[in-house]
Structure 1
Amino acid sequence: MCRKIWYSALIVCFCKILFISPVKAEEQFVVEIEKGISIFVSPDSTSTILTVTSQKSNWTILHTSPNYFEVSNGEIQGYVKTKESHVLFPETVKKFEVYAASVPYYILKNGKLLEKGNIFPGVAWKRDGQTDEYHIIHVGNQLVYVPIEGTMPTSLEVNASAPRKAVIPTTLLAENHLPVFSPEGERLGTYPRSYPVAINGIDGEYAIVNFIGREAKVPFNLLYSKDLFQGAQTVSHSEMSFYTQVIHAMYPEFTELKQIGLSLEGRAIYALKIGKGKKEVLFDAALHAREHMTTNVLLEMMDSYSIHYRNNASWAGYKPREVLDKVAIWFVPMMNPDGVTLVQGGMKAVKNGELARKINGGSTNFARWKSNVRGVDLNNNFDSEWSALNVSAKKPAYHLYKGPKAFSEPESQALRDFINSRDFLSNMSYHTSGQVIYWFNWQKGSDLNRDVGLAGKVSRLTGYRVLDPMYLIGSGSSADWFIQEKKRPALTIEISPFVGDRPVPTSYWPAIWKQNHKVGMFIATEAASR
C-alpha cells in the first residue's frame, strides 16, 4: 500500500508539472527564434498566428511553461513553442532552472554520456561551465552534464546544502522511478528504475542521498536490496542499528521495529519483526559482549529472509513469505551494546571505561569481556531460581558475576519486559563458542519430549552437539528463565568451534552461516504446528 501511495503521488507530481500555469520570470531572459517560426496569440498552436518571424531574432521571455514561452520583441507579444526556440545562456549566467516537465542528467564514462536520472522544475542549480549543448556541474571529481534544452537562466537562489558523508557506506536499488526531494520536501528529480542509490544516512522513512552535489532524500520504501549485509565483518552497535533500521524502512509492509530498552549507557536495544504471522518466535544475540559474532548471524537472517519475503521467492528449501506470514520472527541482534562497544573499541569508547578497566584488573585488553559495562554477566542475571545460583564471581567481573539481584540490569530488564509483552512460542538465544546446544531446565512430561526433540532437530540442522541435562539448582540464563516462566522451548545455541576467551574470528563466518542459515525458517515452521 505504501509503495502504491508513493507511485500515485509521483504521477500527481508529473501531472502538476505538465499543466502548471505559466510562471513569471523575475528577470528578463532571452530566447533566440529562427526564421519562419509562428508566434501565437495564446499557448495553443490552433490559436491565431500573430506573426511569422522573417529572420533569426532575439525575444524577451515574459512567462514560461513546459510547452510555450510568452515572449516579446518590443512590438509584438505572443507565444512560441519552447521546442522552436533556443534559450540564450551568456557566460556570466551561473544558475539555471528547468522549465520543461523534466530534463535528464548524465555523467561521462568511457567517453560516453550515461543517463543517471532527471531534474524537475522549480529549483535553481549552480553551473560551473557549459558546452554547446550542456551545462556542466562539478560534483567532487566528477562532471555532471545537463542538457541546455529545457532549461533557462534563473534568479532563484540555489538553496542547497553540501551532502553529508556516509558513516556506513551502503548502496540500495531504486524499485521504480524514484522521486528525489530536498531536505525541505521540494521535488528535485528522479532516479531511474534499478539505479544504485548510495545511502548517506537515515531520516525516518527517508534515505539521505547525494543528488548532483546537494543533500537530498528519497523514500526508503521505494528502495530494495539484493544483499545488504555481509557477515564476515566486525559489527558495531551503530552499524547494527543502521542495518536494522534500513531493513525496516525498506519493508514497512511486513516488518515492525521496536526499541525495547536502553543499555546502562543509553544505547538503544532494537527488536525487528519480519512477517505478518499472528504466532511469533524470538531470536536474541550478543547477550555476552565478546560474543558479537552472533549479531552477524541474526543480521544475515534478517537480510536474507526479508529479501526473499519481498520477492516472494524460495530460499534454502523454504518459502519465507509463506512461513513468516504464519509465524513471524522477532530478532534482537544485540542485547549488550555497551559490552560489545567496550570489547570492540576499548575503554575510551564507553562512558564507564575507567570502571571497566578496574574491574578488568587494570588491563585495557577487553577481548575476554562478557559482562555489561559495569561487570554484571547478563546471562546470570535472569531469575530462574537466581538466588540459588552459585557462581565464582562475588563482585563485578568480566564474567560470572550475577549482579546484586535478579534483573538488576537495564539490559536484562528490557528482554524480560519484551518477552512478557508478547506470546512467543520459542526463544533461540545465540552465544559463542563450542558448537553445542543447551536446552534443559527441569522440563517434564510432554514438555520434556517436545524440547529434547526440538534440540535434536536443530542439532541435525546445524551439526552442533546437544548437551545432556546439567540439573542446575539455580540459573540466571535468559533461556532457562524463558523455559521456566513460559513453559515453552528455548535453546542456547553456541556457534563456532571453541575459541576460548575471545571473540570469534571473522574467518569462521562462512562455516557459521552455512550451519545456521536455515534455523530461523525451521523454528518458525516448527512453531506453526503449536
Structure 2
Amino acid sequence: MASLIARVTSTSTRAPLARLLTSPLGLDVWEVGADHLVLQADEAQAGRLQAMGYDVEQLRMTEQYLSAFATDAAGYHTVATLEQDLRRLAEAHPEIAELHEIGRSVEDRPLWALRIGERRGSTRKVAFLGCHHAREWISVEVPYLLAEHLLQTSSSEPVQGWLQQGEVWVAPMVNPDGHEYTRTENRLWRKNRRRNRDGSVGVDPNRNYGYMWGTLDVNTSSHVPADETYVGPRAFSEPEVRAVRDLVARQLFGGVLTYHSYSQLLLYPWGYTSEPVEDEADLGEMRELAEEMHQLIKGVHGTTYTPQQSSQLYPTAGDTADWTYGEYDAPSLTVELRPASALDGGFVLPPDQIQPCWEENRPAALHFIDHVLGRPAR
C-alpha cells in the first residue's frame, strides 16, 4: 500500500492532536508543532485519521519525497567508511586516540567508540553518541566531525587543556544494522534489525534503556512490535543498547550528549513525564546549558534550535538522556539536528547541509565539553 507524508491538524474538540501522541495508534510521527503534526502513514491510516475527525493534508507521497531529497548520498558515511575513517583518526594520533569496539549489533556488526585524551583512566569524561535511529544520517556526521576537529586541534587551546585533564568518547553510529538497511533497502527505516516473535522487525534503541522503561504505552513509546517506537520485550534487550550501557557503566561519564534528527531542538530530561526534574540545581544546570548552546548555535548561521524539556516534544520512556541522567546523575542532552521541517528534507537532509549543520553545532559541542571537563569536579 502506498504511503504518504501528511500534515495533520484538528479544529474539533473530539479529535485533539495530543491523542495522536498519547494513544497507541501505530503512527510514525515525524514532527510536532503547536497546531499540527507531520507523520508518515499509509492510505488506510490516513483514512482512519480523517474518520476520527482530523484534517489530513497530503504533503507528498513518500516516493515523491524520496525522489526529491534522497538523490545523493555523497558525503555521508556508510558503516564501512565510518570504520575506515575512525581507524584513520586513531592511527594518525596514536598518542591521544584509541578506537574501541564496545559491542556487536544484532547482525554482528561492531560498534565503535573513539576515546580521545592524553590520560588513561581520567575521572573526567564526556560522551557523544549518534545514530540510535537508522534514518537519521546527519546524526552520524556531526559527532564524527567533532572527533576529527578535536584531533586536528589537539595541540591548541582550549582543546589541549581538555585532553590533558580528561577524555572525550565519541560513538557516531549506535545502530549500524539499521543504518546499513537504510542504504540498501528502506531509506526511512528507524529501528534496529531485531527479528520479533510476531514476525515484525526492529526495536527502537532509544526506547530500550532501563530508566522508566516500559512505563508508557503510547504512540511514541509503543509495546506493539511492528510500531516504529517499539520499546522491546524488556529493558536492555538489544545488544546495541547493552553496548552503550556497559560503556557508560565503565567510564562513568560526567555528561552525555546524543544526536538525533530532525526538528532543531535542544532537549533535556525528563521524557517519560511532563513533571520537571526534581532536583532544582540539576534542572537549572541542564536548562542553562541548553540555553547557552542555543545561543552559540544561532550565532553561527542564525539557525534556531529551541531548548525545551523532552516531553514537550512528545512522551518517551526508556530513552538515552533520561537513563544517563536518571541512573548516573550526568547532565544529559539530546540535540535534534537540521532541518526544521519535512519540507526542508526531514530525515533526508541534503548532503550540502552537512557542513553548515556541523559548523553551527561545533561551538555548542565544544561548550558541552568545557562544561564537563573544564569545570570543578562534581
Instruction: Give me the whole-angstrom Cα distance separating, in 1, the residues matched to 2:129 and 2:368.
Output: 13
Question: In structure 2, what is the equivalent of residue 475 of structure 1?
Answer: 317
Question: CA offset at residue 480 of structure 1?
Answer: 0.9
Is 1:332 aligned to residue 155 of structure 2? no
Q: 1:367 aligns with which of 187, 193, 200?
A: 187
**Is the contact made by 1:439 and 1:491 (CA closer than 8 Å) also made in structure 2?**
yes
Question: In structure 2, what is the equivalent of residue 446 of structure 1?
Answer: 281
In structure 2, relative to structure 1, the CA distance for the partners of 1:511 and 1:232 (3 Å cut) is: farther
**Is the contact made by 1:368 and 1:398 (CA closer than 8 Å) also made in structure 2?**
no
For residue 518 of structure 1, give the secondary structure of its aligned residue in structure 2.
Answer: helix
Structure 2 matches for 1:482-501, cutoff 5 A? Answer: 482-500=324-342
Question: CA offset at residue 285 of structure 1?
Answer: 0.1
Question: CA offset at residue 326 of structure 1?
Answer: 2.2
Instruction: Give me the whole-angstrom Cα distance separating, in 1, the residues matched to 2:340 and 2:316.
Output: 25
Structure 2 matches for 1:24-423, cutoff 5 A? Answer: 233-277=75-119, 278=122, 279-309=124-154, 312-313=155-156, 318-346=157-185, 366-374=186-194, 375-392=202-219, 393-397=222-226, 399-423=228-252
Instruction: Give me the whole-angstrom Cα distance separating, in 1, the residues matched to 2:88 and 2:255.
Output: 26
Question: In structure 1, what is the equivalent of residue 290 of structure 2?
Answer: 455
Structure 1 residues 63-118: Cα deviation after superposition (integer angstroms, max 9, x where no partner)? xxxxxxxxxxxxxxxxxxxxxxxxxxxxxxxxxxxxxxxxxxxxxxxxxxxxxxxx
For residue 135 of structure 2, give the secondary structure of its aligned residue in structure 1.
Answer: helix
Instruction: Give me the whole-angstrom Cα distance separating, in 2, the residues matched to 1:345 and 1:473.
Output: 31
Structure 1 residues 346-385: Cα deviation after superposition (integer angstroms, max 9, x where no partner)? 2xxxxxxxxxxxxxxxxxxx22211001310110111221
Instruction: Give me the whole-angstrom Cα distance separating, in 2, the residues matched to 1:370 and 1:443.
Output: 32
Q: Which amino acid aligns with 1:239?
A: T
Structure 1 residues 450-485: Cα deviation after superposition (integer angstroms, max 9, x where no partner)? 111111111112231101463888611011100100
Instruction: Give me the whole-angstrom Cα distance separating, in 1, the residues matched to 2:159 and 2:74.
Output: 24
Please, what is the CA RMSD of the aligned residues?
A: 2.0
Question: CA offset at residue 526 of structure 1?
Answer: 1.1
Q: Which amino acid aligns with 2:242?
A: Q
Larger radius of gyration between Structure 1 and Structure 2: 1
**Is the contact made by 1:382 and 1:406 (CA closer than 8 Å) also made in structure 2?**
yes
Structure 1 residues 277-305: Cα deviation after superposition (integer angstroms, max 9, x where no partner)? 52110000001000121111111111121
For residue 259 of structure 1, give the secondary structure of its aligned residue in structure 2.
Answer: strand
**Is the contact made by 1:255 and 1:274 (CA closer than 8 Å) also made in structure 2?**
yes
**Is the contact made by 2:106 and 2:177 (CA closer than 8 Å) also made in structure 1?**
yes
**Is the contact made by 1:371 and 1:397 (CA closer than 8 Å) also made in structure 2?**
no
Question: CA offset at residue 387 of structure 1?
Answer: 2.4
Question: In structure 2, what is the equivalent of residue 53 of structure 1?
Answer: none
For residue 254 of structure 2, give the secondary structure of its aligned residue in structure 1.
Answer: strand
More strand by share: 1
**Is the contact made by 1:327 and 1:525 (CA closer than 8 Å) also made in structure 2?**
no
Question: CA offset at residue 417 of structure 1?
Answer: 0.8
For residue 387 of structure 1, give the secondary structure of its aligned residue in structure 2.
Answer: coil
- Using structure 2 for the length normalisation, give the TM-score: 0.69
Q: Which amino acid aligns with 1:451?
A: M
**Is the contact made by 1:288 and 1:377 (CA closer than 8 Å) also made in structure 2?**
yes
Instruction: Give me the whole-angstrom Cα distance separating, in 2, the residues matched to 1:261 and 1:509.
Output: 28
Question: CA offset at residue 498 of structure 1?
Answer: 3.0
For residue 303 of structure 1, give the secondary structure of its aligned residue in structure 2.
Answer: helix
Instruction: Give me the whole-angstrom Cα distance separating, in 1, the residues matched to 2:337 and 2:362.
Output: 12
Q: Across the two proteins, how many residue pairs are aligned to each other?
A: 275
Instruction: Give me the whole-angstrom Cα distance separating, in 2, the residues matched to 1:294 and 1:469.
Output: 18
Is 1:518 aligned to residue 363 of structure 2? yes
**Is the contact made by 1:482 and 1:490 (CA closer than 8 Å) also made in structure 2?**
yes
1 or 2 for the larger relative contact order (CA 8 Å, sep ≥6)? 2
Q: Which amino acid aligns with 2:188?
A: R
Q: Which amino acid aligns with 1:406?
A: A
Q: Which amino acid aligns with 1:395?
A: V
**Is the contact made by 1:388 and 1:473 (CA closer than 8 Å) also made in structure 2?**
no
Instruction: Give me the whole-angstrom Cα distance separating, in 1, the residues matched to 2:214 and 2:226.
Output: 18
5+ residue gaps, structure 2, are 1-72, 195-201, 271-276, 299-304
Question: CA offset at residue 232 of structure 1?
Answer: 6.4
5+ residue gaps, structure 1, are 1-230, 347-365
- Using structure 1 for the length normalisation, give the TM-score: 0.50
Instruction: Give me the whole-angstrom Cα distance separating, in 1, the residues matched to 2:126 and 2:228.
Output: 28
Question: CA offset at residue 413 of structure 1?
Answer: 0.7
**Is the contact made by 2:261 and 2:347 (CA closer than 8 Å) also made in structure 1?**
no
